[in-house]
Amino acid sequence: MLTEEQQIITRHRGGHARVMAVAGAGKTSTMVAYVLARLREGMDPRLIRVVMFNKAAQEDFSHKLRIAAGANAQLPPVRTFHAMGRNLAMSLAKEGHLATFDPTPLGDVQASLEMLKALQAAAGTSALRAAIRDDQQQWLDTFSGFVDLAKSTLAAPEVSFALGGYPEQYQLFIEAFARFEQWRKAAARVSFADFLYDPCRLIANDPALANFLANRVELFVVDEFQDINDIQFFMLKTLAGERAQLQVVGDADQCIYEFRGAKPEYMLSYFGDTYSHQSYQLSRTFRYGHQLALAAAQLISHNQRRDPLLCISADSAAPSHVELCLQNPDGAVFAQACEAQRAEGRAYSEMAFLCRTWAQAAPVELALLKRGIPNRVMGGSRVLERSEIKVLMSLLRLMAGEFASQDSAEQHQQLFDILKFCELKIRHEVLRGYAERIVLSDFSALHRSEDSLSFYQEKRLQSLATVLAQLGQERGAGRGLRRFVNDLDLLNLMRDNALNREDGENRAATVSAFIEFVALQQDQAPSAILAMLAELSDQSGCGDTTAGAVTITTMHRSKGLEWPVVLLPNLSAHYMPYQAGNRRRQELDHLEAERRLMYVAMTRAIKALYLFAPGLDATNGWSTDQRPELHQLPSPFLAEMNLDLAQRLSSQIEAGARQFDLPPSGGATASVAQRYLDAVVPEWQANTVASSVGYPELGAYLQHTRYGLGRVSDIDALGLVVSFSSTKRFFPRLLVSRVLQPAPESVVSAALAGAGASAKDFCVGDILAHDKFGRGAVLAVDKHTIAVNFSAGRKTFRLDLFQAKKIA
* Fold match, 4-97+197-282 / 385-535: no
The predicted pLDDT at position 752 comes to 64
Secondary-structure class of domain 385-535 per CATH: mainly alpha
Confidence category of residue 502, pLDDT binned at 50, 70, 90 = confident
The predicted pLDDT at position 269 comes to 92
515 has a pLDDT exceeding 60: yes
Amino acid type, 246: L
Q: Is the dihedral of CA 252, 255, 258, 261 positive or negative?
A: negative
pLDDT tens figures, 551-585: 999 999 998 899 999 999 999 999 999 876 444 44
Which residues, in sequence order, are bridge partners of residue 778?
788
Q: What is the SS3 assignment for 568?
A: strand
Note whether 223 and 282 are within 8 A (CB). no
The predicted pLDDT at position 350 comes to 95
286, 320, 325, 448 from 651: Cα distances, Å:
18, 11, 20, 72
The predicted pLDDT at position 582 comes to 43
The predicted pLDDT at position 585 comes to 47
Q: Give me the mean pLDDT over the 312-327 stretch.
A: 94
Please state, as a whole number, how many other Cβ atoms lie within 10 Å of the Cβ of residue 598: 27
Which residues, in sequence order, are bridge partners of residue 758?
none
The predicted pLDDT at position 583 comes to 45
**DSSP 8-state symbol, 106:** P
Note whether 309 and 596 are within 8 A (CB). no
Confidence category of residue 172, pLDDT binned at 50, 70, 90 = very high
Q: Quick one: which of 571, 740, 569, 734 has its CA closest to 640?
A: 734
507 has a pLDDT exceeding 90: no
Rounded to whole angstroms, how far apart are CA atoms 150 and 158?
8
Strands 563-568 vs 605-613: parallel, antiparallel or unpaired: parallel
761 has a pLDDT exceeding 70: no
Confidence category of residue 737, pLDDT binned at 50, 70, 90 = confident
The structural domains of the chain, with segments of one domain joined by +, span 4-97+197-282, 108-189, 385-535, 701-806
7, 213, 220, 421 from 43: Cα distances, Å:
19, 20, 12, 63
544 has a pLDDT exceeding 70: no
Confidence category of residue 668, pLDDT binned at 50, 70, 90 = low
DSSP 492-559: HHHHHH-SSHHHHHHHHHHHHHHHHHHHTSS---HHHHHHHHHHHHHHTT-S-GGG--EEEEETGGGT
730 has a pLDDT exceeding 80: yes
Average pLDDT value over all residues in the chain: 88
- Lowest average pLDDT, out of 154-163, 623-632, 638-647, 682-691, goes to 682-691
pLDDT tens figures, 40-65: 999 999 999 999 988 989 999 999 99
546 has a pLDDT exceeding 60: no
Q: Has 107 been labeled as part of a binding site?
A: no
Q: Quick one: which of 581, 550, 585 has its CA closest to 566?
A: 550
123, 140, 157, 364, 700 from 171: Cα distances, Å:
10, 14, 11, 37, 51
Note the CATH number of domain 4-97+197-282: 3.40.50.300
Please give the residue that has the higher pLDDT: either 315 or 686. Answer: 315
The predicted pLDDT at position 49 comes to 95
How many residues belong to the chain?
808
Note whether 261 and 238 are within 8 A (CB). no
Q: Has 25 been labeled as part of a binding site?
A: yes
pTM comes to 0.86
The predicted pLDDT at position 700 comes to 82
Q: Quick one: which of 207, 205, 233, 231 has its CA closest to 220?
A: 233
The predicted pLDDT at position 692 comes to 46
Q: Has 23 been labeled as part of a binding site?
A: yes
Confidence category of residue 745, pLDDT binned at 50, 70, 90 = confident
Q: Has 24 been labeled as part of a binding site?
A: yes
The predicted pLDDT at position 424 comes to 85
